[in-house]
Amino acid sequence: MTTAAIAARPRRPSSLRRPGIAPVLILASIAVMAGLVILPLLTVFRDALAKGVPAYLAAIREPDARAAIRLTLIVAAISVPLNALFGVAAAWSVTKFEFKGKAALLTLIDLPFSISPVISGLVWVLLFGAQGWFGTWLADHDVKIIFALPGLVLATILVTLPFVARELIPLMQAQGSDEEAAALTLGASGFTTFWKITLPNIRWALLYGVLLCNARAMGEFGAVSVVSGHIRGQTTTLPLHVEVLYNDYDFVGAFAAASLLASLGLITLVLKTALEWRHSGELAAARKP
Amino acid sequence: MALEIRGISKAFGRFPALKNVSLQAHDKEFLALLGPSGSGKTTLLRVLAGLETPDAGEVNFGGEDFLSLPVRKRRVGMVFQHYALFRHMTVAQNIAFGLSVRPRAERPSKEAVKARVSELLSLVQLDGLEKRFPTQLSGGQRQRVALARALAIEPRMLLLDEPFGALDAQVRRELRRWLRELHDRAGVTTVFVTHDQEEALDLADRVAILKDGELKQLGRPNEVYENPADPFVYDFLGAACRMPGVVHGGRLTVADWETKAPVGAPDGAVEVFFRPDEVTFAPSDGAGLAAEVRAIAARGPDVRIECLIEGRIVELEAHGPTLPPGVAPGLSLRIKPLRPKVYAGAA
């Protein structure tokens, strides 16, 4: 090597920059990803199709499976909009107004993240179960919450409560309330201000939060498992259906149902990436610590 | 329309932002609210806009009880410090917003809105930028869009919060004159908030000086500059030199210099203020404050002279021609403040 070439070469004090280290690290990361993420994912689809496409389709079309899919969609269809509504309302109140107990509200919003989902299910059993606080009253009035759709929805709502609010709060904090104030001084009503100013400003973060919320709502196992009662064809959602079939040694059925959930995850991931790619600036503001 | 503010108080939690502030603005007046940060000037502006509710007091505008009106009924044009342009709307949509949210019966036709937008754009000298988004504009352009948007609703009063705060010095000066002309043409009462005394004195018909939520003085620019109500105002409105002194029997004594006390000066220990450029120089055996020149720095026609007076370092300013020849570091001379102001205070 000539002296000129040596001089031109930038000095790299870090030993990590030594040739050979970077490829090793990259390969190691890829290997870990392949072993822990991609391999299991492929296994799901392989085992689902182990007995051929007809068996796979039959497993999905089977009445209990269809009931599970329908129930999962219904639970998500109820809990995701409610949580989107709650998330927007919570983020709106926390970021645009000053009030007592704001810090407490912020902590409460995060609570479902920090407690085990089993507890999120158990609280509803303790409240509405046969032995629960309101159990007798509910039984007297013939209202079924636990081991029924309302219980599943309640458990799912509780678990997925933070997703939308968590996405919106940092973004709305960064945006401040000047634009809303400006709209008001220009003669807009509160509703118009929300509809024409606030909502367009948060739409991508809102969509992102709804997407995450939906993925979790459909995939939730722990909380739902506690309140479901596992009545086949009636109170088993897709994740529970997978477990039931697996325990029955019906592997094709279990993996077929699992493949639906995995596909849902993949679709969510693609949409999420697309969103991040198109609206990276806005979403970055939302994820600032 | 005339604005009358009476006894406005407002606290945020335990922090009092405004304490019993009363002031008036005449019809079509250009009023500056001047004060350091935390003086409550922006809070007062937001009270006028309806974005804050005061704890006590009244606001009367054109004979109407303003506080009982919700924000959107007040028809005030507010320009925010950071403009608060709607980021997802074009310039034209921003300006048209106030017209487009009117109830259907009062809403102008699409053509009328379009005509109004281009009229306003040419008023703020931004023709042809209708389709741009706020992020595609410079700071000065954004500020003018914000102004056009506020003017679009034909406001009864204009409120400007640090209208030049986020602009660099050159753009500031250009926009200042232009804003003043715009105000004169629009013919509405305007209240603007600033922490820049030069801006306030240069632009406003009258200046209200606030400190810690209290109104310290209200008057025309030359009035407040010539006769500051207290040491704070004196200090805030421009560079100030201060010395301890004593007033007795109509005579003011500062160190070994004795002179006639200003009219109305309180007897006893006082603080003497003078502007660093309002002094004359005399030889060391003449009359005035004994000073020793420490350093001299010329800035174009102006000369900055650092002096030691009574053990304090005082920076004076002189215009080249008024400076006696031969002034150099180490020289002793006498300084005579031309118009000392005297406030009762600790000696």
What pLDDT does residue A288 have? 41
Of B156, B157, B158, B154, nearest in space to B112 by CA:
B154
pLDDT bucket at A138, cuts 50 / 70 / 90: confident
B207 contacts B219 by C-beta, under 8 angstroms: yes
Q: Do A189 and B72 touch (CB under 8 A)?
A: yes
Measured between beta carbons, the chain A residues lying within 8 angstroms of B75 are 187
Selecting from A179, A185, A201 the residue whose C-beta is nearest the C-beta of B49 gives: A185
Measured between beta carbons, the chain B residues lying within 8 angstroms of A192 are 101
Measured between beta carbons, the chain A residues lying within 8 angstroms of B107 are none
- Tell me the β-bridge partners of B296: B305
| Residue spans per domain, chain B | 3-230, 239-344
B281 contacts B334 by C-beta, under 8 angstroms: yes
Place of tokens 């997802």: B88
d(CA A170, CA A153) in angstroms, rounded, equals: 27
Measured between beta carbons, the chain A residues lying within 8 angstroms of B10 are none
d(CA B115, CA B109) in angstroms, rounded, equals: 10
How many CB contacts within 8 angstroms connect chain A with chain B? 63
Minimal-distance CA residue of chain B relative to A177: B84
What pLDDT does residue A16 have? 57
What pLDDT does residue A281 have? 60
Q: Would you state the structure tokens that stand for residue A33, as one six-digit string?
A: 């990803």
What pLDDT does residue A287 have? 47
What pLDDT does residue A2 have? 45
Burial B48-73 (b: 16+ CB within 10 A, else e): bbbbbebeebebbbeeeebbeeebbe
Place of tokens 């039959």: A58
* Model confidence, pTM: 0.79
Q: Which CATH class is domain B239-344?
A: mainly beta
> What letter does residue B34 receive in the DSSP assignment?
E
Exposure of A65 by Cβ count < 10 A (0-12 exposed, 13-18 middle, 19+ buried)? buried
Minimum distance, in Å, between the CA of residue B84 and any CA atom of chain A = 5
* ipTM reported for the complex, 2 dp: 0.84
Percent of chain A predicted with pLDDT > 70: 90
Q: Do A181 and B85 touch (CB under 8 A)?
A: no
Selecting from B78, B87, B88 the residue whose C-beta is nearest the C-beta of A185 gives: B78
Host H or E run for residue B304: strand B302-309
Average pLDDT over residues A117-121: 90
What pLDDT does residue A6 have? 47
Minimal-distance CA residue of chain A relative to B74: A185
Residue A14 pLDDT > 80? no
Percent of chain A predicted with pLDDT > 90: 52
Sequence-distant (≥ 6) Cβ neighbours of residue A38 within 8 angstroms: none
What pLDDT does residue B185 have? 87
Dihedrals φ, ψ of B21, to 5°? -90, 125
Provide the angle, in degrees to the nearest 10, between the axes of the packed helices A238-247 and A251-278. 150
- Tell me the β-bridge partners of A276: none
Q: A-contacting residues of B 52-111, CB under 8 Å?
A: 71-78, 80, 82, 84-88, 97-98, 101-102
What pLDDT does residue A15 have? 56
Residue type, B94: N
The tens-digit pLDDT sequence of chain B (347 residues) is 899 999 999 999 889 999 999 999 999 999 999 999 989 999 999 999 999 999 999 999 988 999 999 998 999 999 998 899 999 999 999 999 999 999 888 899 999 999 999 999 998 889 999 999 999 999 889 999 999 999 999 999 999 998 887 778 887 888 888 889 889 888 899 999 999 998 999 999 999 999 999 999 999 999 999 999 999 999 999 889 888 899 988 899 888 888 888 888 888 899 999 999 888 888 888 888 888 889 888 877 788 888 888 888 888 888 766 677 777 888 888 888 988 999 987 54
Residue A289 pLDDT > 60? no
Average pLDDT over residues A168-177: 90
How is B207-264 classified by DSSP, letter by letter? EEEEETTEEEEEE-HHHHHHS-SSHHHHHHHS--EEEEEEEETTEEEETTEEEEPPTT
Minimum distance, in Å, between the CA of residue B37 and any CA atom of chain A = 19
Q: Do A179 and B85 touch (CB under 8 A)?
A: yes
Strands B30-34 and B206-211: parallel
Measured between beta carbons, the chain B residues lying within 8 angstroms of A179 are 84-87
What pLDDT does residue A1 have? 41
Report angle CA B111, B112, B114 to the nearest 5 degrees: 65
Selecting from B72, B80, B97 the residue whose C-beta is nearest the C-beta of A178 gives: B80
Measured between beta carbons, the chain A residues lying within 8 angstroms of B153 are 186-187
> Is the CATH number of domain B3-230 3.40.50.720?
no
Residue A123's alpha-carbon distances to A105, A109, A219, A263, in angstroms, are 19, 16, 20, 31
d(CA A212, CA A162) in angstroms, rounded, equals: 10
Sequence-distant (≥ 6) Cβ neighbours of residue B250 within 8 angstroms: B260, B261
